[in-house]
Structure 1
Amino acid sequence: MAKYWIGFLGCFFSVWTVSCGQPSPQKQQKVETTSAPQDNAKADLQLIFQVLEEKYQGKTQSRSSLTFKNTGNAPLLATGWKIYFNGSPSYKAKDTNGPIKIESINGDLLHLVPTENFKAIASGDSITVEVVSAGQIINDSRAPYGFYLVWDKEPAKGYTLTTRYVKPTKNAVGWIEAQDIYRQNQNIQNIPEDKLTKVFPTPAQYTKTGSSITLTPATMVTTDPAFANEGKLLSEYLETILGKPNVAQVQEYGKNSIQLNKKPGLGAEGYELQVLPMAIVINATTPAGAFYGIQSLKTLIPPSAYAQKQTSITVDGVQIKDASRFPHRAFMMDVARNFQQKEQVLKVLDLMALYKLNVLHFHLNDDEGWRLEIAGLPELTQVGGRRGHTLDNLQFLQSAYASGPDVNNSTGSGHYTKEDFIEILKYAKARHIKVIPEIETPGHARAAIKAMDARYYRLLNEGKKTEAEQYLLRDLNDKSVYRSVQYWNDNVMDVSMPSTYRFLEKVTDEVLAMYKEAGAPIQTIHFGGDEVPKGVWEKSPSVQALMKKDASIKEIDDLWYYFFNKLNAMLKARKMYLSGWEEVGLRKVRENSKLSYVANPVLAKENVHVDVWNNIGTNSDLAYRMANAGYKVVLTNVTNLYLDLAYQKAYEEPGLYWGGFVDLDKPFYFIPLNYMKNMKVDESNNPIKPGTFAGKEQLTSKGKANIVGLQAPLWSERILSPERQEYMLLPKLLGLAERAWAPDPMWATEPNTAKSEALYTAAWSQFVNTLGKRELPRLNYYHNGFQYRIPTAGALVENGKVLANVQLPGMVIRYTVDGSEPTAQSKVYLGPITEKGTVKLRVFDVTGRGSRVIAVDNR
């Protein structure tokens, strides 16, 4: 998954040696370095970061500048301070004899310290140093961030610094250009709204009848008693746009009513929806089916109805028969790296429900945070759920992912109380969403490890040694040396210790108790299982003792199977099955000194579910190999479904890019049961060469039955606000919803390449028109509105005219030629622009929110 490759690149590139030169502004050398420290420099030192050169020295590394600007009233002294920041440990000063040095602390935390060559910075002056780092900095996700200053005389206190990021002046990394976007959009046809399928995701059978019904505040909702919850939710929804209609548990045909009827034979999630002149009828066998029929009705309602209270709403007549394609349609929300409040979780659950997603994979802990209250283990949230500037990680964890020095930072710190979590579970259950909690083990467990360390020292100081050791997660005498792919050297549980299993059983039982109190279903717990680095456990006395005792553990690698066999048994005893990342079901094989991974046949027989993310390079067929071997597979392919990857290769686009760039089309053209057929570009966005997948394993009939569904994760390393979460989430999540629910499209199974491409182009136009004209306008208001990404305009100059287009028809392109940024009042693009000069273009939605600006020269 994302976290693997970010770390891998950093660890790999950090072996580069960087050479140096020294900037030495003369003005700084005149400053007296014996002046008293400037107290307001705590806030008045500003930093400016800019990439100067990619592929520095012909290597895969970048040379950048970091400018220190003193905006205060007194000099910044040459000594007596450190500046902490988050970034790859590959960051080094370009000049080893220069004014600064950069040192890695742990994880992504580094600090910058002045050397004897640093000269004090006078008020109003600045100094610029150069740094070298691994990889290419395509956008600011690989730039250093989260800077804060700590005075030596006040070592436990940090002061946040303002940092400005300046776009590089040269396009040395192949950023996408306006003409590239134009060519991507040029086959999109503008389809009139009345020609669009008005239910989304696309239903299995859909017929327009030509009639309609008008809903008013007097509309009656009638429901079979089995669908009382669904009727209540429908009534509450109609109240937001019409005023509250009456709800009655009757099954009589009523004038101007919405009826929820129980009908056998429609399946677990199937429904029928008829919009008749006198009534709307939804038939279903189960409450889930009735619920999904209601969601389809919601998308039938015109988006304009959401803008304000309506006195009446006209709904077009349709006949629909529908059911889900996959039973597991999941969104993974990471709240461990950076936290989201309960209210945002509930909002996302409503979004998922609208588009028939039925699994929230809740990533509740990681190295950087533990987010769920566990009774009897207060340190998990008191220590593991908070981040700030710390010298020992005993009161809270160190800063990570730009959470800064303040322990009250709302993204680095936070957790869900027992009451919060139960409320989330109840909310999800009412919307037919299963919540799968993820407890990361044995790696990615630093927050838990440090929390249990704090508990150990607290109880030890109270003279309670036995109790202190009850849930300890590491051997205190372990001298093993390792570095995880996120650069941690202390983030893996010791799987040989009985206390580790006591801890996991305690957490499991407390989680199950919360589900029981909420009345929510739980069939599995996701126990992570990825990215345990080489070197772990090798010098643990506890491990050595276990290996002498247990003959089945012949080498360190065998501890992996020992651990997950025990977790599997623990869950089976509680009538649940084990879920994890793909590594849970893999076994290391060495042939001729070459290491490879194959499906572990032992757990394949145990109903173990694995989320398979890695479809890069030699692992392009890994998901299919595991499904063929007997594992229940959730397709979580990084190249098409990782929502935290940037939409486009542009400096202004937020998001990571280690696994490629994921725009709206990537999840849409994903073919679950034959995804190699439609993979168009590699992780560098280069066209895939013919024959790339020759010899790769395809799904067998048994393997197809083991593909249980799809999942789109949103890792939160760079998600510092609800608005950023929604930007990365939407509209890409709608591509996942379409693929997970709708029937296999014709273009996916058409063997003729030309016909398949033509069918795809028509389907893509239908999809983007539906989003641009119906679903995104709806989401401007649904649950108080979502801050989805508005696409960048495409543009090129042809025969002295500027041509422009947009990915989502229904949105408006506006432009200026006077150098100003386009606003919602600027000229509307209606055809080729003949005006000369620099033409700036920007796309706007119906509320006046705009995209980023692109510019083309028409000279």
Structure 2
Amino acid sequence: MKITISIALLLFLGIATGKASNLDTLSLQVSWQPIENNYLGKEQALSVITIKNSSNQALPATGWKLYFNFIRIMSANDERPAFDVTHVNGDLFYFKANANFSGLAIGEEVRYELISNSWLVNLNDSPQGFYLVWDDGRIQPLPKVKILPPVDEKKFYRVGGDAEESAEHIFKQNATIQQAGTSVKKIFPSPVEYQEHKGSFKISKATGIQFDAIFQKEVGLLQTELSALLGNSLPIHVSSQKAKNSIHFVSSPDLGKEAYRLEVKKEGITIEASAGAGAFYAIQSLKTLIDPAAYATERQTAIQIPCVSIYDEPRFGRRAFMLDVARNFQTKDQIKKLLDVMALYKLNTLHFHLNDDEGWRLEILALPELTSVGSQRGHLSGTDRSHLPASYGSGPVTGEHSGSGYYSRKDFIELLAYATARHIQIIPEIETPGHARAAIKSMQARHDRLLSEGKPEEARKYLLRDTSDRSVYRSVQKWNDNVMDVSMPSVYNFLEVVTEDIVSIYKEAGAYLETIHFGGDEVPQGVWEQSPSVERLLATDASVKSKDQLWDYFFNKVYHILAKHDLYLSGWEEVGLYKVTDANGKKSWGPNKAFNDRNIHLNVWNNLLGNEDLAYRLANAGYKVVLSFVNNFYMDMSYYKRFDEPGFYWGGFIGLDKPFSFIPYDYLKNQQKNYLGRQLSPKVLQESAKLTEAGKKNIVGIQALLWSETIKTPESMEFMVFPRVLAFAEKAWAKEAGWETQLDSLKADQAYRKSLGEFYAVLGKQELKRLDNYHGGFAYRIPSPGLAVIDGQVHANLELPGFTIRYTTDGTLPTAQSAVYSKPIPFKEGLQFSAFNEQGRSSQVSLVHSDN
């Protein structure tokens, strides 16, 4: 059905303008629908918000404001809109009725057409978190926004041919995957050397565990895991003598720290390692040899382990996962669950993004406002500064949404101990000097409290921003007050205290700390331009000759704060960059020679337009680089372009193959399209920097990342991360694949597709079945079926094996009881298909249309 959108707002007459007697029961339903991208020939979008009065009383014309979050700057698409819109800060706005609005009668609705900057692509672009605030102070949350898909797909294109992902295209993509045979490697991630033998070893309650004393902690974890499966604790004892029917851990000094040998014979298991880490990874491999079905049942009498011989060690020393808990919080128990599955797949670093503009999540005892103020989000009225404002739909009430929360010192020590036992180091990130609004506002609240107590000097001690600063800027996330003033001595007082407290937390936990990540990304233009404190610094410190040198001034001080604690500095790529101007006046980023001879580690995320070779240039210049590329490893990106597919897309769409296909030391070899799917120019491909031998040695690891703007529940976190992170784990651990260095492009492509098919077989037939039940089960994403109509018959396929395709013929959604697809079926309108796992959880629906 074609829907015509009127430019004028639908204003309804005959509505009472006085306040109703009991407005607490007033209910409004808000819906949002995108209409058109590139509206009026500009990179902007047209959409419509509809507000319907679904209650039994009228909405008055005055006496209220309607707050909401929206990630775009917006304006009305009408000369006489019913509401004035005000941008508060960040993604927070409010509507206030003006003279054009006369109220909203029972059952009626008003439409507000809006123009917003940039494109709209999927449901995560919608406004959210609507709530009413009455003039008398009452606050009323509204139901979740109803999101309607665009009507005209072509108007919704960003560029030519920017079509929604279709079931037909998914079918074609799936058909290119080379299906693996029934026999696949049972160890995951793939070991360096792997050989299967006939027979198996049976672990039962009679099986003992013998070990050299250095492996006692690892053996304790294995005993706990096996006891959960068998219902009995296996006997363990220190012994260098191998016994029958035993799992025997042997110290072998010739192996690397994370290397191991694993031998499973009919009479027993032998694990060799030089250190606890190697023994631990051997245990993880042993666990992946266990049939996934074992995790679905309790108290089995025995566990069969197939006979194998394995030698293994990791490709990269740092195999990291970054989790942002600042935008939306995850509980301590959920972090433990994440650590468990990271350990299973041999990831050894959790990069913990603990603060940002929208939240501070770690208790610092000396600075209690960081959590009393900075960890809570809700509505702020008047001069109230007791918490942060609503962001990302967190709503008006503190403590009732993932927008609020923090880890106490005790919680964090518990997490550190839990991670350390699993050979995972946690790198804490304290984002500076930008993305720091939560810290800035918390320290302002501390200042105000102490000032009211008559302690002005103590009040100023940790201020992070000069309130007399009149600099004008706007961050990417639309904040105008989120950057620390790096000229203020109090900033470094603050960072000293935070660093000292973190060091003491790690010491108390007995956890390894080698670095603190101090951020450094996305500081907007215009900061510090009108700061009185900056002017004082320029006048008094001869080493700082211009505002352009403030960046080096700041990170030099941070570097030395860390050095006092024998820590090195980690940061985002901007820490190691500065702007250079070519002969034509064009500015671009280049490696900063001020820091390249120090042990500074950089997460390089930007491999987008003009920065395809940035990571290699920084590594060649001497920086230690962790490859953290947005269009390979950002787990918050959508799998593909479909309106109901969750996730962002600004870095491209990231299917399961994107992490797997990554070639760390020559990534442009098989990744030659930009984030819009368009071919990179020959100039970019030919002239991009290549890694030198010295630069290759400076690639210290790779990292997957999950930013949490859209992640509000444990289930949504798991959906976005799994199974993609398993492709990343394979890339981080497994040895270099032959297709990575194969010079013949045809042979390389054939070998890659064979390897991809084998990987998909391991995932679908083995590891996802394990994750159905492992540590309570994971809500991973199940792939939607691909569909094609061939000679009047509907054919269906899947990206991964191991799932059951079910369908309906009457237009209803498939369920776990619907008909099973086993062969092509006759086409008819209304067919719907979904894939199901063994627990009955399903994929998104695929539809088949007559024009396929």
Q: TM-score when scaled to structure 1?
A: 0.95
Among 243, 258, 263, the alignment partner of 2:252 is 263
Among 107, 123, 146, the alignment partner of 1:124 is 107
Name 1:64's counterpart in structure 2: 47
- The one-letter code sitting in structure 1 at the alignment partner of 2:246 is S
Quick one: structure 1 residues 831 and 857, their matched pair in 2 at CA, closer, same or farther if it must change by over 3 Å? Answer: same
Question: Which secondary structure does the structure 1 equivalent of 2:659 belong to?
Answer: helix
Alignment of 1:496-535 (within 5 A): 496-535=487-526
Query: 2: CA distance between counterparts of 1:440 and 1:389?
Result: 24
Question: Which secondary structure does the structure 1 equivalent of 2:173 belong to?
Answer: helix
Question: Which secondary structure does the structure 2 equivalent of 1:137 belong to?
Answer: coil
Alignment of 1:57-96 (within 5 A): 57-96=40-79
Contact 2:619 2:699 in 1 (8 A): yes
Deviation at residue 527 of structure 1 after TM alignment:
0.3
1:223-264 deviations in Å (ceiling 9; x for gaps): 211000000000011012112212212222122211111111
Contact 2:186 2:289 in 1 (8 A): yes
Contact 1:20 1:94 in 2 (8 A): no
- The one-letter code sitting in structure 2 at the alignment partner of 1:300 is L
- The one-letter code sitting in structure 2 at the alignment partner of 1:201 is P
Query: 2: CA distance between counterparts of 1:738 and 1:324?
Result: 10
- The one-letter code sitting in structure 2 at the alignment partner of 1:740 is A
Deviation at residue 164 of structure 1 after TM alignment:
0.7
Kindly indicate whether residue 323 of structure 2 is the aligned counterpart of residue 333 of structure 1: yes
- The one-letter code sitting in structure 2 at the alignment partner of 1:313 is I
Alignment of 1:294-373 (within 5 A): 294-309=283-298, 310-373=300-363
Contact 1:301 1:313 in 2 (8 A): yes
Question: Which secondary structure does the structure 1 equivalent of 2:370 belong to?
Answer: helix
Deviation at residue 687 of structure 1 after TM alignment:
4.5
1:617-648 deviations in Å (ceiling 9; x for gaps): 11000000000000000000001110000111
Contact 1:20 1:95 in 2 (8 A): no
Contact 2:30 2:51 in 1 (8 A): yes
Name 2:94's counterpart in structure 1: 111
Instruction: Name which of structure 1's ranges 443-452 and 141-150 shifts more when overlaid on structure 2.
Output: 141-150
Quick one: structure 1 residues 368 and 752, their matched pair in 2 at CA, closer, same or farther if it must change by over 3 Å? Answer: same
Query: 2: CA distance between counterparts of 1:837 and 1:451?
Result: 58
Query: 2: CA distance between counterparts of 1:23 and 1:471?
Result: 49
Question: Which secondary structure does the structure 1 equivalent of 2:753 belong to?
Answer: helix
Name 1:5's counterpart in structure 2: none
Among 459, 473, 476, the alignment partner of 1:482 is 473
Name 1:856's counterpart in structure 2: 848
Contact 1:62 1:132 in 2 (8 A): yes
Deviation at residue 158 of structure 1 after TM alignment:
4.6
Among 672, 676, 681, the alignment partner of 1:684 is 676
Q: Which runs of 5+ in 2 are unaligned?
A: 158-162
Among 1, 4, 7, the alignment partner of 1:21 is 7
Deviation at residue 37 of structure 1 after TM alignment:
5.5
**Equivalent residue pairs, number:** 836
Alignment of 1:560-709 (within 5 A): 560-591=551-582, 592-688=584-680, 690=682, 692-709=684-701
Query: 1: CA distance between counterparts of 2:384 and 2:123?
Result: 28
Question: Which secondary structure does the structure 2 equivalent of 1:203 belong to?
Answer: coil
- The one-letter code sitting in structure 2 at the alignment partner of 1:277 is K
Name 2:238's counterpart in structure 1: 249
Query: 2: CA distance between counterparts of 1:59 and 1:176?
Result: 24
Query: 2: CA distance between counterparts of 1:127 and 1:475?
Result: 43
Deviation at residue 858 of structure 1 after TM alignment:
4.8
Name 2:15's counterpart in structure 1: 31
Deviation at residue 796 of structure 1 after TM alignment:
1.1
Name 1:223's counterpart in structure 2: 211
Alignment of 1:707-722 (within 5 A): 707-722=699-714
Deviation at residue 35 of structure 1 after TM alignment:
4.9
- The one-letter code sitting in structure 1 at the alignment partner of 2:94 is H
Contact 2:24 2:140 in 1 (8 A): no
Deviation at residue 593 of structure 1 after TM alignment:
3.2
Deviation at residue 108 of structure 1 after TM alignment:
0.8
Contact 1:138 1:175 in 2 (8 A): no
Alignment of 1:780-799 (within 5 A): 780-799=772-791
- The one-letter code sitting in structure 1 at the alignment partner of 2:427 is I
Query: 1: CA distance between counterparts of 2:572 and 2:599?
Result: 14
Question: Which secondary structure does the structure 2 equivalent of 1:377 belong to?
Answer: coil
Query: 2: CA distance between counterparts of 1:793 and 1:747?
Result: 28
Instruction: Name which of structure 1's ranges 812-821 and 379-388 shifts more when overlaid on structure 2.
Output: 812-821
Kindly indicate whether residue 742 of structure 2 is the aligned counterpart of residue 758 of structure 1: no
Name 1:828's counterpart in structure 2: 820
Kindly indicate whether residue 32 of structure 2 is the aligned counterpart of residue 49 of structure 1: yes
What is the percent sequence identity of the aligned residues? 49
Name 2:160's counterpart in structure 1: none
Q: TM-score when scaled to structure 2?
A: 0.96
Kindly indicate whether residue 81 of structure 2 is the aligned counterpart of residue 98 of structure 1: yes
- The one-letter code sitting in structure 2 at the alignment partner of 1:81 is W
Question: Which secondary structure does the structure 2 equivalent of 1:557 belong to?
Answer: helix
Query: 2: CA distance between counterparts of 1:40 and 1:447?
Result: 32
Name 2:197's counterpart in structure 1: 209
- The one-letter code sitting in structure 2 at the alignment partner of 1:139 is N
Deviation at residue 604 of structure 1 after TM alignment:
0.9
Contact 1:615 1:638 in 2 (8 A): yes
Name 1:380's counterpart in structure 2: 370
Query: 1: CA distance between counterparts of 2:168 and 2:88?
Result: 44
- The one-letter code sitting in structure 2 at the alignment partner of 1:314 is Q
Query: 2: CA distance between counterparts of 1:838 and 1:748?
Result: 44
Deviation at residue 136 of structure 1 after TM alignment:
2.6
Alignment of 1:140-151 (within 5 A): 140-151=123-134
Contact 1:800 1:858 in 2 (8 A): no
Q: Which runs of 5+ in 1 are unaligned?
A: 1-18
Instruction: Name which of structure 1's ranges 29-38 and 676-685 shifts more when overlaid on structure 2.
Output: 29-38
Query: 2: CA distance between counterparts of 1:836 and 1:691?
Result: 49
Instruction: Name which of structure 1's ranges 712-721 and 597-606 shifts more when overlaid on structure 2.
Output: 597-606
- The one-letter code sitting in structure 2 at the alignment partner of 1:441 is T
Query: 2: CA distance between counterparts of 1:703 and 1:709?
Result: 13
Contact 1:158 1:406 in 2 (8 A): no
Query: 2: CA distance between counterparts of 1:668 and 1:422?
Result: 34
- The CA RMSD over aligned residues, in Å, is 1.5
Query: 2: CA distance between counterparts of 1:823 and 1:256?
Result: 46
Name 2:142's counterpart in structure 1: 160
Name 1:3's counterpart in structure 2: none
Name 2:282's counterpart in structure 1: 293
Deviation at residue 125 of structure 1 after TM alignment:
1.9
Query: 1: CA distance between counterparts of 2:393 and 2:374?
Result: 17
- The one-letter code sitting in structure 1 at the alignment partner of 2:219 is G
Question: Which secondary structure does the structure 2 equivalent of 1:29 belong to?
Answer: coil
